[in-house]
Amino acid sequence: MIDGEGMEGIRASARGWLTLQLAALGFVGLCGALKAGGSGAGSAAPQGVEVVAGLLVLLALLVACLAVYLVGRVAWPHAVAPGDTERAARNLRTGLILTFATVLLTALAATSSWWPAPDTGAGEAEVEVTTSAGTVCGRLAASGSGALALAVHGRTVDIPLTDVVSVNPVDGCARS
């Protein structure tokens, strides 16, 4: 059993830990705000991953609130009865474990923002290339230096860069 001085030490420790807990709670809120604010262009993660990430952030918020409640109850008890010292120490330990679980859950939820972007097939874009001799439409292809390569009707056409007047993306080339 811990004596009366031990209870004061536990209460002082709990007050100090509340600062960390409020920072963790702010971290959860910031991650939620960034997640909501950054979703304007859509996310690269599949919808299922996004749902799991959202649920993890909500779970982290609930765990953080419970942790703050437990530690706050130790820091500022309504009344201290004999034998409450052991319970206070247990509540403080539980609150701290829940605080670290909150940070872990939030970090796990944030990993969905690192999902790799889908291949947009930029190499498949069709462009219309205007040269001094005319216009050619096709898909961009790999080429050597000094030339722009287009795949036109199944064959590759190399256009010297010095002949290129303009390159414009198009929705599709007219097939003749």
Provide the pLDDT for residue 54: 86
First vs last C-alpha separation in the chain: 91
Selection from 83, 123, 94, 112 nearest residue 1 by Cα: 83
Where the chain has pLDDT below 70, the residues are 1-5, 31-43, 79-83, 117-124, 175-176
What are the distances in angstroms from CA 115 to CA 28, 49, 132, 163?
Answer: 20, 9, 44, 41
Residues 6+ apart with CB under 8 A from 115: 43, 44, 45, 46, 49
Q: Which two tokens stand for residue 73?
A: 């109850």
CB atoms within 10 A of CB 36: 11
Residue in this structure with the two tokens 């961009």, named with its chain if needed? 140
Task: Report the residue count for the chain.
Answer: 176
Provide the pLDDT for residue 69: 92
**How wide is the angle at C-alpha 43 spanned by C-alphas 38 and 46, nearest 5°?**
145
pLDDT digits (tens, 9 = 90+) for 113-135: 777 766 555 556 789 999 988 89
Domains, the chain, in order of start with CATH, read: 4-114 (no CATH), 122-169 (2.30.30.100)
- Pairwise CA distance, residues 28 & 65, whole Å: 11
